[in-house]
Amino acid sequence: MTADSRKPRQKTAKGRRPFFLDSADSDKLLAMITALVGEVSILKDRVDTHERLAVVGKVATPEEIEAYEPDEPVEDEREAARVAMLDRVYRIISVTRDQSPTSDDVEYDALIDQFANDDKT
């Protein structure tokens, strides 16, 4: 079989898109919010880079921003800020889930525990 006669590789998933919340619309909304949170996180890191360059007297050119490499304490600060933002944004999900666990939640938690412990063995 030559390279030209092969069946083209599928580029999209077959079947219906799975959803995990009560409706596909809720799932889409969650996906949009998650994407926006990612974009905000990136912007916050870039603003932080601008501020750190200014402190050392550098002009925040695109080249300087791309070349900036945060050290470990800066990465730790940024990670803490990301975790805090995620906690604030998704708080309603965790609070609701904690208040009324369903059998699905219990099964999910057991599955997560299983995978977490598989890596340790």
Exposed/middle/buried for residue 118 (C-beta within 10 Å: 0-12, 13-18, 19+): exposed
User: Which residues of the chain carry a pLDDT beneath 50?
Assistant: 121
The pLDDT value given to residue 18: 64
Q: Please tell me the total count of domains within the chain.
A: 1
**Model-level pTM?**
0.61
| Domain hosting residue 44, numbered range | 23-103
In angstroms, the CA 12 to CA 8 distance is 12
The pLDDT value given to residue 17: 66
**Coil, helix or strand for 71?**
coil
Asked whether residue 65 is assigned to any structural domain, the reply reads: yes
| Alpha-carbon 118 to chain mean position | 23
The per-residue pLDDT for range 83-103, each reduced to its tens digit, is 999 999 988 877 766 665 565
The pLDDT value given to residue 106: 66
Asked whether residue 96 is assigned to any structural domain, the reply reads: yes
The pLDDT value given to residue 95: 74
Q: What are the helix (H) ranges across 21-119?
A: 24-55, 62-67, 72-89, 91-99, 103-118
